[in-house]
Chain A
Amino acid sequence: GAGVSQSPSNKVTEKGKDVELRCDPISGHTALYWYRQSLGQGLEFLIYFQGNSAPDKSGLPSDRFSAERTGGSVSTLTIQRTQQEDSAVYLCASSHDRRNYGYTFGSGTRLTVV
């Protein structure tokens, strides 16, 4: 596609439920990132995928968070047993790793845990 697509745009879930957030990167982009933006905060790195290499999971805040990227394209971020502190905007970005300019971001998923 022309841009990075994220779904759903907004998600309200009950505390304790699992949620899945989806990211469709730009075709041909081998690098994919997930970031979390909490209210009034900057973007916090969560996880990075590069081609077929093992992902960099160093930013995942707990073992309730996981992500996968199937076929080097679509990625899913899963949050299990959601907590209220998980409420945030989750942004996905992709880039062509051979180019040294910034990523292309999606519009994010606003997650609200009630």
Chain B
Amino acid sequence: AQTVTQSQPEMSVQEAETVTLSCTYDTSESDYYLFWYKQPPSRQMILVIRQEAYKQQNATENRFSVNFQKAAKSFSLKISDSQLGDAAMYFCAYRGSNSGGSNYKLTFGKGTLLTVNP
């Protein structure tokens, strides 16, 4: 079974600074997808960024980027120029490939609570 581990229950960063959230996972599959979700107090999970395992290039979405190390099974999220609105719980998630008709459920880590200090 796949597992996702986020070793940092809480992190804090000064506004305008950069912070990196860690995530490791365990899988025997070679093709899969990785995601970072943000959950503000409104509770809605918002997709921040995704990475396909077959792509070597790290995904980037504006101030958010990932460092995907497939061999190490590591998928960290870097937030640059942190803003007050970035404060939220961040979840790393894994999903297997679509091949073979397998289901598409996401496996989540336990989350990292990010505080942004003004």
Residues of A within 8 A of B (CB): 31, 33, 35, 40-43, 45, 48, 50, 56, 59, 89, 91, 93, 95, 97, 100-108, 110
B3-34 to A contact mask, C-beta < 8 Å, 1/0:
01000000000000000000000000000010
Choose, from B62-70, B73-81, B101-109, the stretch at the interface: B101-109
Given A41-B110, A110-B43; 13 other pairs, CB 8 A cutoff: A35-B108, A42-B108, A42-B109, A43-B108, A45-B105, A48-B104, A56-B105, A91-B45, A100-B98, A101-B50, A104-B47, A106-B44, A107-B43
Asked if residues A48 and B37 are in contact (CB atoms below 8 Å), the reply is no
Q: Are A97 and B104 in contact (CB under 8 A)?
A: yes
CB of A107 within 8 A of CB of B44, answer yes
| CB <8 Å contact, B106 and A89 | no
